[in-house]
Amino acid sequence: MNTKTCIRMLALTCVFLTAFAHAQSFPSRPMRVIVPLAAGGGMDSVARTVANSFTEALGQSVVVDNRPGAGSLIALEILNSAAPDGHTLMMSSATTVIYPLLYKSPLDPVRDFLPVSQVTAQGYVLVVHPALPAKSALEFVKHAKANPDKLTYASSGIGSPIHMTTELLGIATGTKLLHVPYKGMGAAYADLVGGRISFSFATIISAQGHIKNNRLRALAVSTGKRAPAMPDTPTMAEAGVPGVVVVNWYGLLAPKATPKAIVDRIAAETAKAVQAPAMMKHLVADGSEGIGSKPAEFTAHIRNESEQWRRVIKQGGIKAQ
């Protein structure tokens, strides 16, 4: 073995031992999970459940820090300035990918951060007011084509996942749909149930009560397979409308230079957290499922999401406002 080979092997050994030491000593103080939405919502609930699991598994308290605003950009800026040692993480979602594309943010979820693990996946359900003459997703598309720019749909704002999902539906089916953005889905539901809005994609948990009480009609789910919480509702493809597969998600990001050993350990603990029976039961009731992916898998997922929504923004001519 020559001198250069020995030096190279020694350097690699030092890198390995340093990474191992980082992982063994982590965490050395309380951790923080930044949530880019207000307390009380679905993401906040998942973040707190994961934080409690981390506290038990890692032996340090984990604080959930709600920093809503600017479509996750405020939270991303805080994460970007945090020390890259695993003690500060951020719960992200599809919004975290969409808003930087739409609002030309200098921060990119993959380029400037480390995707750690996709925590959950949850689809949407296409719901219509009962007065709309459509009993299936295919009938809905036919009705929309016959009435261009007359069917109104609600979303929680321009660039929100629900807005983008409906834009994808319009692109895939060649229909012209009229967007009515709201500051939140609370007011949107009031107008949807009241018949002032024609339809919307909605989270399963928020729509189920209205569906069961016949205030809204469920036509199809946006997932690639049927949702466990709504097994009798077909997917868009099963209902005769292919090309509309959208799965919203929550996942953890870390600062860019966080050591790989620490990122891998957090990902492993995330997988354990979402596989816990209590967590699985909670997620199914919420219309979700636990994922717990590895860093490389989550990175690929975010890149695919970015490509899809960049295409929708361009083809739909969506402008930031």
- With contact defined as beta carbons under 8 Å apart, do 260 and 268 qualify? no
Which of 39-53, 73-87, 137-151 has the lowest average pLDDT? 39-53
Neighbours of 8 (CB within 10 A): 11
Q: Give the percent of the chain with pLDDT over 70.
A: 93
Residue 9 has pLDDT above 70, yes or no: no
Residue 15 has pLDDT above 60, yes or no: no
Which of 4-8, 112-116, 244-248 has the lowest average pLDDT? 4-8
- With contact defined as beta carbons under 8 Å apart, do 272 and 97 qualify? no
Instruction: State the pLDDT at residue 24.
Output: 64
Rounded mean pLDDT of 94-122? 92
Rounded mean pLDDT of 126-141? 96
Distances (CA, A) of 134 to 130, 196, 242, 303: 8, 16, 17, 35
Q: Among 101, 87, 95, which Cα is nearest to 69's? A: 95
**Residue 97's pLDDT band (boundaries 50, 70, 90)?**
very high
Instruction: State the pLDDT at residue 186.
Output: 80
Q: Among 86, 48, 2, 56, which Cα is nearest to 279's? A: 48
Instruction: State the pLDDT at residue 19.
Output: 45
Residue for token digits 């949107």?
Answer: 188
Distances (CA, A) of 154 to 166, 184, 261: 9, 10, 43
Q: What is the DSSP string of 97-122?
A: HHHHHHTT-S--TTTSEEEEEEEEEE
Instruction: State the pLDDT at residue 184.
Output: 77
- Pairing of β 113-128 and β 288-290: antiparallel
3-state secondary structure of 89: strand
Q: Among 150, 161, 146, 156, which Cα is nearest to 92's? A: 161
Distances (CA, A) of 3 to 17, 48, 291, 309: 21, 52, 46, 51
pLDDT in tens, 35-49: 999 898 889 999 999
Instruction: State the pLDDT at residue 6.
Output: 47
Position 295, amino acid: P
Rounded mean pLDDT of 161-165? 95
Rounded mean pLDDT of 170-199? 93
Residue 11 has pLDDT above 50, yes or no: no
Residue 104 has pLDDT above 70, yes or no: yes
pLDDT in tens, 193-246: 999 999 999 998 889 999 999 999 999 999 999 998 899 999 999 999 999 999
**Structural domains in the chain?**
26-122+247-316 (3.40.190.150), 123-221 (3.40.190.10)
What pairs with residue 114 in β-bridges? 254
- With contact defined as beta carbons under 8 Å apart, do 34 and 90 qualify? yes
- With contact defined as beta carbons under 8 Å apart, do 316 and 171 qualify? yes
Supply the mean pLDDT for the chain.
91
Residue 272 has pLDDT above 60, yes or no: yes
Instruction: State the pLDDT at residue 2.
Output: 57
Dist. CA 195–CA 146, nearest whole Å: 19
- With contact defined as beta carbons under 8 Å apart, do 53 and 62 qualify? no
∠ CA(186), CA(192), CA(196), 5° rounding?
Answer: 120
**Residue 1's pLDDT band (boundaries 50, 70, 90)?**
low
Instruction: State the pLDDT at residue 16.
Output: 42
Rounded mean pLDDT of 54-73? 94
Q: What is the DSSP string of 217-255?
A: EEEEESSSS--TT-TTSPBTTTTT-TT---EEEEEEEEE
∠ CA(185), CA(186), CA(191), 5° rounding?
Answer: 90
Instruction: State the pLDDT at residue 7.
Output: 47
pLDDT in tens, 290-308: 999 999 999 999 999 999 9
**pTM for this prediction:** 0.88
Instruction: State the pLDDT at residue 14.
Output: 42
Instruction: State the pLDDT at residue 153.
Output: 97
